[in-house]
Amino acid sequence: MEKKIIKKYKSDKLTVVWQPDLCIHSRNCFNGLPNVFNPANRPWITPENEDDDTIRIQIDKCPSGALSYILHEREASTGDPASASKVEVMPNGPLVFHGKISIKHSDGTEIQKEKVTAFCRCGSSSSKPFCDGSHGRVGFEG
């Protein structure tokens, strides 16, 4: 099994976590907050360029869950996130699950996902069952 790449970028109150193998290249991050997310720069994520609340709001818009964050000081939970799950079919794109989910792979391994998970609908993803953005390349409609 391949080792997953996980990159972390720290600011005062949070750490931005990026998992490139989950990214579907929706461009929500850098279209919404280009002073923090700029793929032309190295590092491409600079959380020190914006306040933490604005970064959290933008990361919550990531449809694949490739971007997430860790709060340095835990905040009180306002409810059970599993009770607020939702499935969204993206036009010509992935099936997006919002909420906590347990995924059991065909080899029996099981993983837990939080917040957002994008599942492939086009069949062309190289990271099935997850979407890798191949739907755009292959012209998937559905």
Q: Using a cut of 0.95, tell me whether the model's pTM lies above it.
A: no
Of 101 and 40, which is predicted with more confidence?
A: 40
Position 83 confidence tier, pLDDT thresholds 50, 70, 90 = low
Pairwise CA distance, residues 29 & 55, whole Å? 9
The answer to whether 102 and 56 are in contact (CB under 8 A) is no
Find the angle CA(46)-CA(59)-CA(40) to the nearest 5 degrees. Answer: 40
Confidence of residue 5 (pLDDT cuts 50, 70, 90): confident
Q: d(Cα 43, Cα 40) in Å, to the nearest integer? A: 9
The first and second tokens of residue 21, run together, are: 């193998």
Terminal CA-CA length for the chain: 31
